[in-house]
Amino acid sequence: MNEPRSDLIEAARAVCGEFELRKDFSAGGVGAAIRTANGNVYTGICIDLASGLGFCAEVSAIAEMLKNRETHIVAVVAISGSRILPPCGRCRETMAQIDARNLDCRVIVQEDRDVPLRELLPSHWLNDKGDAAKKNPGDANTGRSAETFDA
């Protein structure tokens, strides 16, 4: 995945570049690129707002992908300046929930290294079919149920 990895990194770098929206609010500090199973590349930038209503660059790229009726991601990268960033928990969950096959997408974590999304979401609560994990009766004191995992 070396050449496709560098192409995706360059696509993310191309859209990355912070700019001010207004005082104390910005966009573009992180750029992301996604490659789909169809070979299309979608990019996005983050929006940083004080209210918490902003979103990550990966979510922006995912929205562009979904607009084009695609869901299957094969590779993803996020860049801030010269640094490659792993996706945050919200972005990891978003990728996993829109298509269970995305648990096998390659997350670029360094220029020369990528890992499957499932490594960043160990014991994920969705199975490979996208169904919620089976639940056992939980602790009556907390009301929480315990997940069971098939070996």
Q: pTM (2 decimals)?
A: 0.81
Over residues 41-93, the pLDDT tens digits come to: 999 999 998 887 889 999 999 999 999 999 999 999 999 999 999 999 999 99
Output the CA–CA distances (angstroms, integers) from residue 138 to 37, 92, 117, 134, 150, in the order listed.
39, 26, 28, 12, 18
Question: How would residue 143 be classed by pLDDT, with cut points 50, 70 and 90?
Answer: very low
**Is 2 a residue whose pLDDT tops 70?**
no
Q: What is the pLDDT of residue 142?
A: 42
14 or 27: which leads in pLDDT: 14
Distance of alpha carbon 34 from alpha carbon 40, whole angstroms: 8
Q: Is 133 exposed, middle or buried (0-12, 13-18, 19+ CB in 10 A)?
A: middle
**Is 145 a residue whose pLDDT tops 70?**
no
Tally the domains of the chain.
1
Range of the domain at 46: 2-147
Sequence letter at residue 39: G
- List the beta bridge partners of residue 114: 108
